[in-house]
Amino acid sequence: MSNEIEIELDDELDLQEPKKYKVFLLNDDYSTMDFVIDVLVKVFRKSVDESSVIMLNIHNHGKEVCGVYTHEIASTKVAQVKTMAREQGFPLKAIMEEE
């Protein structure tokens, strides 16, 4: 008597890309431009030059995309922005929207 078990596997796996979320920083009248640039460099790993462009877009348009991530990473970035802003006494806010 054999103890072998035969298992059939589907040749086609239905794998889907995870949903992506855009993370935005929102303009406010209190957070300094230098602080916003610092957040972009530290949280979103942007260069200083790229951060300056994004910061000006936030200032001029009210909000700007800082990156596109999976849900878990996007929510972590939003939380990191909130923590940094709170520690520095700024009301800077990040939000995420499904792409």
Query: β-strands 93-98, 63-70: how paired?
Result: unpaired
32 located within any domain: yes
Domain residues for the domain of 65 are 20-92
97 located within any domain: no
Rounded Cα gap, residues 86 and 31, in angstroms:
11
Tokens of 27: 């303009």
DSSP-assigned letters across all residues of 29-44? SSS-HHHHHHHHHHTT
- Say how many domains are in the chain: 1
pLDDT tens per residue across all 99 residues of the chain = 567 777 766 667 778 899 999 999 999 999 999 999 999 999 999 999 999 999 999 999 999 999 999 999 999 999 999 999 999 999 999 999 999
86 located within any domain: yes
Q: What is the pLDDT of residue 77?
A: 98
Q: What is the pLDDT of residue 57?
A: 97
Residue 77 belongs to domain with CATH number: 3.30.1390.10
52 located within any domain: yes
